[in-house]
Copies of this chain bind each other. A is one copy, B any other.
Amino acid sequence: MTIGDGLVAIAAALAVMTGIFSTAGQGYVAAKAVEAVGKNPEAENEIRTMLILGAGIAETAAIYGLLIAFLILFAY
């Protein structure tokens, strides 16, 4: 591998690291969902729906990073 190859690989790694805080943000969403279902177990279905919707929205940037990482590795 040349230094250039190594730098391209580092670029792909940096791209996928875009999702680094999505784990923290989604952890916060999930924590609140757990807290909510503990307080009001009858609302489990509504809470689950909101968790999936909210976490899905918070996932988008991580997916952008993954996409660019793939493109850097295999289409660049």
Which residues of A line the B interface, CB within 8 A? Answer: 1-44, 46-55, 57-73, 75-76
> With contacts A9-B72, A36-B39, A51-B54 known, what are 12 further pairs, Cβ within 8 A?
A1-B8, A8-B9, A23-B25, A24-B24, A35-B38, A36-B38, A37-B47, A38-B46, A38-B47, A44-B49, A68-B69, A71-B73
Closest 10 CB pairs of A and B: A25-B27, A30-B54, A6-B7, A36-B38, A19-B61, A1-B4, A9-B11, A22-B23, A13-B14, A13-B15
Chain B residue contacts of A40, Cβ below 8 A: 38-39, 41
Give Cα A73–Cα B65 distance, bound, in whole angstroms: 13
Give Cα A72–Cα B3 distance, bound, in whole angstroms: 14
21 A–B contact pairs at CB < 8 A? A1-B5, A1-B8, A6-B7, A9-B12, A12-B68, A17-B20, A18-B23, A19-B65, A23-B58, A23-B61, A26-B58, A27-B58, A29-B58, A32-B34, A32-B35, A37-B46, A38-B47, A48-B50, A51-B53, A51-B54, A71-B73
